[in-house]
Amino acid sequence: MALHCEILRARPDVNNVAHFHYDRATVFTLAEGARLVPVKNHAIRWASGIPVHDDPAHVNTAARGRALAATLGPHFAVQIRAHGQVLVAESIPALFIDCVHFVENAEAALAAASLGKVRGLTADEMASFAKDLKRDKHISKLWAYYSGRARALGLLQDWNV
């Protein structure tokens, strides 16, 4: 709870916080010099960077929550070394879609690293893609797809966001 509360206090632009433990992203915090960078087009959400919070402890106190919020700073994601990830967004659908793209980006970056040096997106490439991206429309489209799938499987019945 301290993790979510302290980030929400520190970031008035954020309405939702996700904390999860995706090992294929966490590995980027385990190797010296390894960094998770945007390699896929929708990863431009993290163009400003994905900082790493060095304290791998559970964020179960206000002080630890404030420290994590400070590491997150103005960014939309932070990795907790040897622990997991935190993403922030303006809405539940946006946060869910960001989590999907974050996982996809981590998988692609990890696969690329097995082939050679990872070639992240350049600032110019991210800026070019950002010009054409209509975030609200993209989120709405993918939210309809994923929530429709969940409803078809009986996982969502009366939950509307």
**Of 78, 73, 70, 66, nearest in space to 29 by CA:** 78
Please say if the pLDDT value at position 45 is more than 60.
yes
**pLDDT confidence of residue 127:** 95
Instruction: For strands 16-20 and 84-89, give the pairing.
Output: antiparallel
pTM above 0.75, yes or no: yes
- Distance CA(156)–CA(147), nearest Å, equals 7
Domain 2-152 has CATH 3.20.20.210: no
Please say if the pLDDT value at position 142 is more than 70.
yes
Instruction: Tokens for 62, please give them.
Output: 């206000």
**pLDDT confidence of residue 159:** 56
- Distance CA(78)–CA(19), nearest Å, equals 10
**Of 80, 79, 87, nearest in space to 36 by CA:** 79
**pLDDT confidence of residue 155:** 82
Summarize pLDDT for 21-44 with one digit per residue, the tens: 999 999 999 999 899 999 999 999
**pLDDT confidence of residue 6:** 98
Summarize pLDDT for 60-118 with one digit per residue, the tens: 999 999 999 999 999 999 999 999 999 999 999 999 999 999 999 999 999 999 999 99
What are the residue ranges spanned by the domains of the chain? Answer: 2-152
Please say if the pLDDT value at position 153 is more than 60.
yes
Confidence of residue 151 (pLDDT cuts 50, 70, 90): confident
Inter-CA distances, 106 with 36, 68, 121, Å: 7, 21, 13
**pLDDT confidence of residue 107:** 98
Residues 6+ apart with CB under 8 A from 157: 151
